[in-house]
Structure 1
Amino acid sequence: MNRNKKTMKLTLISAAALSVLITGCSKETATPSPAVSSAPATTTSSAVPESKYPASLTYWVAMNGNAAAVMKNYNEMAAYKEIEKQTGTKVDFQHPPTGQEKDQFNIMLASNSLPDVVEYNFATLPQSADSLIKGKQILRLNELIEKNAPNLTKILKDHPEFRKMITTDEGNIYVMPFLLGDELLSVVNGPIFRQDWLDKLGLKAPTTIPEWETVLTAFRDKDPNGNGKKDEIPFYMNLGGDFDANNLLVGAWGITTDFYNDKGKVKYGPIQPEYKEFLATLARWYKDGLIDKDYASITDGKLKDSKITNSQVGAYSGYAGSGLGRYLTLVQPTNPTFALSGVPYPKLKEGAAASLGQYTMPFTGYGAAVSAKAKNPDEIIKWLDFKYSQDGAMLMNFGIEGQSYKMENGYPKYTDLIMNNPDKLPVTQAMAKYFQASWSGPFVQDKRYIEQYYTIPAQREAQKTWTNADHSKQMPGVSLTADESSKTASIMNDVKTYRDELFNKFVMGAEPIENFDKYVQTMKSMGIEEAVKARQAALDRFNSRK
């Protein structure tokens, strides 16, 4: 898998035995990485003595939806109850109302009335983390981590690529980060086909764009759902999820629908010549009835659910959890032959380079910052660092030994309390009562969480299949300066609006594909080249980080 082939292995040193790699998962939650071996691995040093932790602290964090379904406050989570026992620190969790997280966060910043700790995705802010540090709203953590966080310090020493990602262009570390510790968990989304339809028609899973066209045509013409009607939707498509999120199909041409990194040179996919070929292919498929005619007007997820569960859809893209496992669970009780499988991201043709695919960087800007007004930052960092220790990592990823997991041959295996909850809670809600691994926070996710969360073999196979895509052109988490951001924000709003509008016109035939060059010139007149230049400067700064 090119550079991402490097396994990012974090180690956990157990008092009794070596355990398997710490890792991280995307969010279907997430977030939120790289494929890894199942060999034993190690992690970090022990926690700072209990007496060094703060007596109390205030902690602002949006409440995860699965947690909100089973508790009112993170203090009710078993992992945090145990952390309080081990550290003696009482935490006043402050959760903004659901749906108001962004507004509440902005209000806090504007009023400069932040609690001790603020957990947030700082990459989503218009201003840089450096500006928040200069504005004396959050603290630079570099020296505080070196002095008070032996566990995170060891992780960053062992994995300099992580340090580079969490450090700003000005050299500041601004959060105790959420890290995906293994490549396996960076890939969680991809193309999904009705395997029973493939089997019924004697077809193999397609691996190239021409094979996709052949299979989709068969889905259209050969009545795979067996109802005697020509009501099949060969490919259920949506612009954002399929192309912006995971580079489906467009990645076969070696480009994306956004900025990408072509060997150190930033390019914008929608103005490349290859994008014209991509659009022409979709336009032909749309005209031939291989794509849902209503794709542009469908925004209701329930309608997608209905079409898939009613055996109308032959191919779509989605997560291994909510897009594959969920539908299998919903449909198979009443339709046992219903089968789904993750298929490879298609290459342009046989023998061509691997397609680009979905990939989440190990760090995406999410973590816990310390307020500049905090009275005891050294103690707070020590408390946060506990989550990166052996004990803390086990609590955040697996919960309480003997309750939510049991050790079997050195492997923390979830109990039926999680996997087959007696109160009929979904797995993610049962997990939330005990630990935080199914979303994000200031810790390193462990791949053994996702290995067990994917309970259906088809999910695990899909993930393995999707990891074989090319991830070398993924843009890292670059940071624009305030000047770059202000100059290009309106440009990109206009560009993306125009891109989406013309995408639909080209695909639906309302705009002749011959007008592509005119479309590109319009993009350039909007300032796309200036936006590319700004991203290039940001990428150059990122690559020069140490």
Structure 2
Amino acid sequence: MKNFQRYIIIVLVCSSLILIGYRITPEKKIILEEQELPIVLNGIIFTAENVGNVNEMEVFEKIESDLGIEVQFNQINNNERILQKKYIMQSNEIPDFIMGSNIPNRELLAYVNEEKIIPLDDLINSYAPHIQALFEEKPFVKQASTFLGDKIYTLPFYNEMKRDLVDNYLFINKTWLEELELEMPTTTEEFYQVLRAFKTQDPNKNGQMDEIPFSYIESNSKYNADSFIGAFGMVDNGKMIMIKDGEAKFVPGEEGYKEAILYLRKLYQEELLDAEIFTQSLEQYIEKGKNEVPIVGAFIAKDSGIVVGENRAIDNYVVVPPLEGPHGDRLWGKKVSQFSSNQFMITTKNQHPEMTIAWVDQFFNPDRAPEIVCGAEGVTIEKIEGNYYFLKPPKGKSYIEHAMENSAMPACPGMLTKEIESKFSYNPIVNRKNHWYNKYEPYFVKENICVSNQFQIDFMKESGIQKSLNRYIYEMKTRWIAGQYSIEEDWEKYQNTLKSLNADAYRILYELKYNECKHLGEHMMH
């Protein structure tokens, strides 16, 4: 059995009632005694649509086997979570735990107030040595996981890899550039001229005007244009706020945002921008990227291999450094922290909270971390003399696709430290991400807001404001880019509507929180 932190489980059978006690032995060994009934945990996990079936992932099966339990997941696509979450927590079939994809604080606050979830502090102290070790070594992780001032209700994914702070990059078909004898674009005007050439000069040589010069997915942060508009001096951090020169800017109300919309409208009207940016799913996006005859000229993605496949990503596409806009701006966004909060919670319906925390503690076990992040040994990686190597993925799959099909890492709690990554002797995913990161690093937004929950609780008061603003801004953006409304004619009225929806109060709150965050230190500010 592998060398990992172990537990003793004492099972007492009395009048057909099974009582389970837990403690950590000094030798850190596990003793499993006969159980009259198996421990079965039922949980919900929210994942991206390109994550594989978690119930069939060997990495989870190993942990369950070692602990002598069974975990059954109800896997829900992130796109369906808004509809599902209300049903889940209001029904009589509340799960034992909820996992996945940075659960919003407003949801967490509702779960706490309705007594749907339990605090984890005592459970961590008694049954989770790996989580304890992380909190002791990195106290700011514990601080950021603390809610309402003194309680921990959720667990994070802590990531020391700076490259993972970047949600996406801009990629372009270098083969088409070479075919048309075009230079790599460096400005928004040059990019526009390249897209025109992609549209009109048949770079895929099939005799049809089937090329999609530029595409993205507006509703998905890993594939949208929130950073692309940095060429116009504004970057949306997902909260509609950008810190610039120590002040919070409400991005959708700034002139730079207006200029970005006008630029995107021009691309859309000239059919240089995918007509389905507001409606396409990730599956449809990937289908276009992997079309038998290449049809996509430029696109935005976390990893090009996900969209166009491994071979095409290597042979035909390259990353485009952030473009320079008409006023010399050249910016790109970066996430605010090295960890995703609210990745795991235990509900009040859970009859085995001790075993549940012992199970999830294994996600923080350094010896298991490579498999949690990348997939099981023998499936996606192999271990030779203490070092890990990526196995070649199946034909037609990229390394990142293969890893995502065999690991739920984006939806899991856990950690990826520099020490863990140093165990990988060859990691093609990391190699190219480091290359992209280095290309973009000079242009990252320098100032940001921390994510400590003790500050975010104040933001909950503004959650209604944010929802109203989001709904209105998204509708106007869609209509402006599609040419249904005129942003020039609407701008004054639009500004007045933003004021009526309390955009100023929303912006001021973030500015106050930014000033408070300065006192937390560099580890909370990225």
Q: Provide the TM-score with structure 1 as the length reference.
A: 0.71
Give CA-to-partner distance per residue, 1:410-451, whole Å, 9 cap, x none: 4211345xx238xx9886786578x53554312224658999
Aligned: 1:390 with 2:371? no
State the one-letter code of the partner of 2:492.
D
Alpha-carbon distance in structure 2 between the residues aligned to 1:102 and 1:491:
16
Partner of 1:363: 339
Aligned: 1:262 with 2:217? no
Trace 1:219-258 onto structure 2 (pairs within 5 A): 219-220=198-199, 222-226=201-205, 232-236=211-215, 239-240=218-219, 245-257=224-236, 258=240
Partner of 1:5: none
Aligned: 1:118 with 2:94? no
Match for residue 480 of structure 2 among 473, 485, 503 = 503
SS of the residue corresponding to residue 357 of structure 1 reads: coil
CA contact (8 A) 1:260 1:266 kept: yes
Higher strand share: 2
Aligned: 1:291 with 2:272? yes
Partner of 1:420: 394
Please state how far the C-alpha of 1:541 moved relative to its aligned partner: 6.4
Greater relative contact order structure (CA < 8 Å, 6+ sep): 1
Partner of 2:23: none
Partner of 1:106: 86
Please state how far the C-alpha of 1:57 moved relative to its aligned partner: 5.3
Q: Provide the TM-score with structure 2 as the length reference.
A: 0.73
SS of the residue corresponding to residue 247 of structure 1 reads: coil
Alpha-carbon distance in structure 2 between the residues aligned to 1:49 and 1:243:
41
State the one-letter code of the partner of 2:414.
F
Aligned: 1:61 with 2:44? yes
Aligned: 1:79 with 2:59? yes
Taking a change above 3 Å as real, the CA distance of residues 243 and 116 of structure 1, as seen in their structure-2 partners, is closer
Match for residue 472 of structure 1 among 446, 470, 477 = 446
Alpha-carbon distance in structure 1 between the residues aligned to 2:463 and 2:289:
42
Alpha-carbon distance in structure 2 between the residues aligned to 1:456 and 1:483:
36
Please state how far the C-alpha of 1:361 moved relative to its aligned partner: 4.1
Alpha-carbon distance in structure 2 between the residues aligned to 1:513 and 1:154:
56
CA contact (8 A) 2:372 2:409 kept: no
Please state how far the C-alpha of 1:386 moved relative to its aligned partner: 2.6
State the one-letter code of the partner of 1:162.
V
Match for residue 274 of structure 1 among 238, 246, 256 = 256
Please state how far the C-alpha of 1:346 moved relative to its aligned partner: 1.3
Alpha-carbon distance in structure 2 between the residues aligned to 1:49 and 1:269:
54
Alpha-carbon distance in structure 2 between the residues aligned to 1:247 and 1:282:
12
SS of the residue corresponding to residue 255 of structure 1 reads: coil
Taking a change above 3 Å as real, the CA distance of residues 281 and 108 of structure 1, as seen in their structure-2 partners, is closer
Taking a change above 3 Å as real, the CA distance of residues 246 and 277 of structure 1, as seen in their structure-2 partners, is closer
CA contact (8 A) 1:191 1:344 kept: yes
Gaps of 5+ in 1: 1-13, 17-45, 333-337
Alpha-carbon distance in structure 1 between the residues aligned to 2:411 and 2:277:
32
Aligned: 1:132 with 2:111? yes
Please state how far the C-alpha of 1:378 moved relative to its aligned partner: 4.7
CA contact (8 A) 1:137 1:371 kept: yes
Please state how far the C-alpha of 1:210 moved relative to its aligned partner: 3.5
State the one-letter code of the partner of 1:270.
P
State the one-letter code of the partner of 1:499.
M
Partner of 2:177: 198
Backbone CA RMSD of aligned residues = 4.6
CA contact (8 A) 1:52 1:382 kept: no
Match for residue 532 of structure 1 among 501, 507, 512 = 507
Partner of 1:216: 195
Alpha-carbon distance in structure 2 between the residues aligned to 1:481 and 1:56:
39
Match for residue 170 of structure 1 among 143, 146, 149 = 149
Please state how far the C-alpha of 1:364 moved relative to its aligned partner: 3.0
Please state how far the C-alpha of 1:93 moved relative to its aligned partner: 2.0
% same residue = 17
Give CA-to-partner distance per residue, 1:297-317, whole Å, 9 cap, x none: 763664884588444442222
Match for residue 521 of structure 1 among 496, 517, 520 = 496
Alpha-carbon distance in structure 1 between the residues aligned to 2:222 and 2:172:
17
CA contact (8 A) 1:185 1:447 kept: no
Taking a change above 3 Å as real, the CA distance of residues 541 and 93 of structure 1, as seen in their structure-2 partners, is farther
Alpha-carbon distance in structure 1 between the residues aligned to 2:136 and 2:372:
22
Alpha-carbon distance in structure 2 between the residues aligned to 1:471 and 1:191:
16
CA contact (8 A) 1:345 1:356 kept: yes
State the one-letter code of the partner of 2:60.
Y
